[in-house]
Every structure is written in C-alpha cells, then in structure tokens.
C-alpha cells in the first residue's frame, strides 16, 4: 500500500462493520478485541510518522527561529483539524510524534507492533519531557522490555524513577516546569453545577485545602447545619470573591433563551455562555429571583435565526458587535476547538475590505485568532457558515451553535444582584 493512499485505509474502516461478531465464540471475541486494540496502536504509530513527515515538509523552507515557531503553530492546527480535535490537542500530538519518531525508538517500535496503546506512549513521552535527548533515549532503552508488561500507572512511575537515576537534576526541572504551568480552570458538571479547579504547587494546594477544612470545622463546631463540603465550597467562594453570598456576585453571566422559554413556560433549554445548556426552569428562576433586570434588544434573522445587529463600517468592531459575537459563538468557532471565544475576528480581513459587521465576525480563542494569520491559512464565508482552509488545501466548515429561541432571543446578564435581559423580536 502506498504510504499516502488514504483511500486504502478508509476501505479498512468500511470493512469493520462487516466483521462476523455474532458468529464467533467468546474466546474468538476476546482474540478479536486484542487484535483490534493492536490495530489501534499500530494506527497511532502510523499517525505519528505521518505527523513527523508533515512537520519536516512544512519546515523545509523555514530558516529563522521565528519561522520555525510559526510552522509549529500551523502544523499543530492542521493536525488538530485532521484528527477532528482542537489545535491544543494538535500541539500535543505534534510533540508526541516528534518524540516517538526521533527520540524514543523502543516506544515507537512497541506502538507500531500494537504491543502498547497510544496512551502508554503518551505517558512515556510526558514522563521524560524534562530530560535531555540522551537521557530520554536511555529511559526508552531501559524500559523497552517493560512497555507491554507494565500497566499505565506503573509504567509512568518507572519512567519517572529511571529519569531521576539518569539525571539527578530532573526533579528540579519537573518542579519548575509544573509551577510555571499553574492555573485555574472551569468545566461543566452534571445538574447545572460546575467544577472549578486550581493546579497549584503542592504547598499552596495543601494550604488551600487545609484552610477550607479548618473553616468548615469551626463553623460546624458552633452548630452550622451545612455539611463539611458545603461549608468548604461556600467559604471558597466567599474568600475568592470577597462576597458573603452568591446573590452579591459582581461578575456578568450571560444566559441566552427564547421568548417562549422566558415568558410562556416553554421547556426549551437556555444557554449559559461559558457553561452550556441549562433547564428553562432554572433560567426563569434566575430572572424571577433577581432584584432588578434590564432589557436590551438583539435581532435574530427570521429565517436562519442568526443574530444580527446595526452595522458600522469601521476597522474595529464596536463594543456591541463584539459582545454579540461572543454571545453567539460562546466557544471558539474553529471546528473541534472548545476554548472560550475571546477575540472578535474579521472572517474576511479588514485589510482585504472585510466590513466590521456582525455578519463578518466570528468568535475565536486567542490561539486560533493568531493561527489564522499564518502563511497559507484563509477563511471565507459569513458568520452563519465559515470555511477555514489550511496550507495543504483542506477545508473545514464551522457554524455557530444553534441558540435557544431562534425567532426571539433573550440574553440575561447577571450583574451584581441584578439581571439584565437582552431580547429582541425578529425582523
């Protein structure tokens, strides 16, 4: 098979549904599971080789450090799109391919043979990331006969241990690297809850948890009816925001919902920007329990439901148009990128005559906005349908997520103790 013949690979994929699973014995089914798992590992190794070759080809004309950095961002984005994942994931797979193909031959051989999973290969690469090429190769060589034998957890610990043995400075490098990556994240949780997490150095993390535990113990000692976990959560909120109650929160929250859901008791879910769908009953409760509310008009196209607004021909988007784009897109408009939309971007560049209007705006994360300015990348279309074309000529289409209440759109802003309701009839 030609190494570039994607049609052959697709034919294998099309053949998988026809596997005779029902007619097998249980022993044969287990053998088939093992074979398919090996196939997944071999496919991951083949992807790594493809990515490495793509990277080398794209770098062929780069000479300066800045050009190589630009190529890395461009290739990472292409890899993410090709794998139907985010550009951030693309960067991880590019790093994985580089390490496996050029620096870790034993791990690559085991993956190619289907003896280990892609996740095991990722663990090996991750646990040796702080080592020099020479030391990484030594860890790879020493653990070659353990790759298929050890579980993921044991393999990661073994790689870390051997790394400490071959490079006594690696623990300090690991600590410095981890500390520089400290951050706070948020993600949706079931039942309209959220997970807010902090990635902190061990002393800070333990200190935060200990302080919250102490606060909970003190409150419960004097008869506080809340559970320990509830007191800790409430204390965390109060100490971070400086407020006594969630009702006093001064951060703006945007809830998008239709007129029927807001006023007529419809069960159509609302949408919280930065979180996702919430039940209509919860959105109505936010409105009902607010101390005061404001209304602002937004306009939805009667046929497509696309949000539109007053156009202004200028280089920069007006504050209203910027806000409209963020409310409409919520997450980055790049396919498979789940990062929050932070930048209002011209689909057709202003330098090419693109207007600063809502129909020419898309919400992008910071990384994707900078990526689209790299050589060979282009975007065409309008806010309702954007086509992104990569340097290899592959085109990917994206559309903003459908909003609740296509014909009537409300945007509720939770600001301080009040709610601001933005709404508009179509027309």
Q: 40 and 166 share a domain?
A: yes
* CA separation for the pair 248, 126 (Å, rounded): 43
pLDDT at 361: 80
Cβ atoms 273, 326 nearer than 8 A: yes
The tally of domains found in the chain comes to 4
Q: 133 and 61 share a domain?
A: yes
Q: What is the pLDDT of residues 8-52, one digit of tens each?
A: 898 989 999 998 899 899 999 999 999 999 999 999 999 999 999
pLDDT at 399: 76
Q: 410 and 293 share a domain?
A: yes
Sign of CA dihedral 191, 192, 198, 204: negative
Q: Is the pLDDT of residue 80 over 80?
A: yes
Residue 322's domain comprises 307-398
Q: 157 and 201 share a domain?
A: no
SS3 for 70-130 is HHHHHHHHHHHHHCCCCHHHHHHHHHHHHHHHHCCHHHHHHHHCCCCCHHHHHHHHHHCCC
Structure tokens at 117: 């999973």
* CA separation for the pair 57, 228 (Å, rounded): 57
Q: 340 and 257 share a domain?
A: no
Q: 388 and 419 share a domain?
A: no
What average pLDDT does the segment 252-279 reach?
68
Q: What is the pLDDT of residues 83-96, one digit of tens each?
A: 999 999 999 999 99
Q: 171 and 207 share a domain?
A: no
Q: What is the pLDDT of residues 94-120, one digit of tens each?
A: 999 999 999 999 999 999 999 999 999
Residue 356 CA: distances (Å) to CA of 309, 325, 384: 11, 12, 15
Give the DSSP letter of residue 340.
B
Q: How confident is the model at residue 264 (pLDDT cuts 50, 70, 90)?
A: low
Q: 267 and 165 share a domain?
A: no
Last residue of a domain, one of 126, 157, 180: 180
Q: Is the pLDDT of residue 346 over 60?
A: yes
* CA separation for the pair 344, 203 (Å, rounded): 39
Q: 210 and 313 share a domain?
A: no
Q: Looking at per-residue confidence, does 296 or 133 come out higher?
A: 133
Q: What is the pLDDT of residues 406-418, one digit of tens each?
A: 444 444 444 444 4
pLDDT at 316: 47
Does residue 151 fall inside a structural domain? yes
For strands 270-272 and 276-278, give the pairing: antiparallel
Q: 212 and 291 share a domain?
A: no
- The share of the chain scoring above pLDDT 90, in percent, equals 36
Give the three-state DSSP class for 414. strand
Q: 68 and 210 share a domain?
A: no
What average pLDDT does the segment 260-278 reach?
69
Does residue 248 fall inside a structural domain? no
Does residue 1 fall inside a structural domain? no
- The share of the chain scoring above pLDDT 70, in percent, equals 72
**CA gyration radius, the chain:** 26
């Amino acid at each position: 098979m030609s190494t570039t013949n994607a049609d052959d690979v697709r034919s294998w994929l099309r053949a998988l549904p026809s596997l005779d699973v029902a007619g097998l014995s249980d022993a044969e089914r287990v053998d088939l599971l093992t074979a398919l798992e090996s196939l997944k590992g071999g496919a991951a190794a083949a992807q790594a080789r493809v990515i490495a070759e793509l990277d080398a080809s794209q770098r062929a004309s780069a000479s300066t450090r800045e050009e190589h950095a630009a190529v890395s961002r461009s290739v990472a984005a292409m890899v993410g799109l090709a794998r139907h994942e985010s550009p951030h994931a693309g960067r991880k797979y590019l790093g994985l391919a580089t390490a496996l193909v050029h620096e870790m031959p034993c791990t690559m051989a085991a993956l190619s043979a289907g003896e280990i999973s892609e996740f095991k290969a990722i663990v090996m690469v991750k646990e040796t990331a702080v080592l020099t090429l020479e030391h990484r190769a030594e860890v790879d060589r020493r653990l070659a006969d353990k790759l298929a034998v050890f579980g993921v957890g044991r393999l990661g610990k073994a790689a870390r241990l051997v790394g400490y043995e071959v490079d006594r400075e690696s623990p300090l490098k690991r600590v410095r690297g981890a500390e520089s990556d400290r951050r706070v994240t948020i993600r949706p949780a079931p039942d309209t809850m959220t997970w807010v997490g902090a990635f902190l150095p061990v002393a800070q993390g333990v200190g935060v948890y200990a302080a919250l535990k102490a606060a909970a113990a003190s409150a419960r000692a004097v008869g506080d009816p809340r559970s320990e976990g509830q007191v800790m959560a409430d204390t965390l909120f109060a100490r971070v925001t400086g407020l006594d109650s969630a009702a006093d929160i001064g951060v703006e929250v945007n809830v998008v919902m239709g007129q029927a859901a807001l006023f007529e008791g419809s069960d159509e879910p609302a949408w919280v920007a930065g979180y996702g769908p919430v039940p209509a009953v919860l959105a109505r409760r936010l409105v009902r329990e607010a101390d005061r509310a404001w209304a602002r008009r937004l306009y939805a196209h009667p046929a497509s439901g696309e949000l539109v607004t007053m156009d202004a021909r200028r280089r920069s988007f007006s504050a209203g148009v910027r806000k409209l784009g963020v409310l409409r897109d919520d997450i980055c408009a790049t396919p498979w990128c789940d990062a929050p939309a932070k930048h209002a971007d011209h689909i057709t560049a202003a330098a090419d005559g693109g207007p600063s209007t809502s129909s020419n705006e898309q919400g992008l994360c910071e990384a994707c906005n900078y990526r689209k300015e790299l050589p060979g990348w282009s975007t065409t279309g309008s806010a309702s349908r954007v086509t992104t074309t990569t340097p290899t000529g592959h085109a990917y289409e994206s559309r903003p997520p459908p909003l609740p209440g296509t014909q009537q759109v409300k945007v509720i802003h939770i600001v301080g103790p009040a709610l601001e309701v933005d709404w508009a009839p179509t027309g």
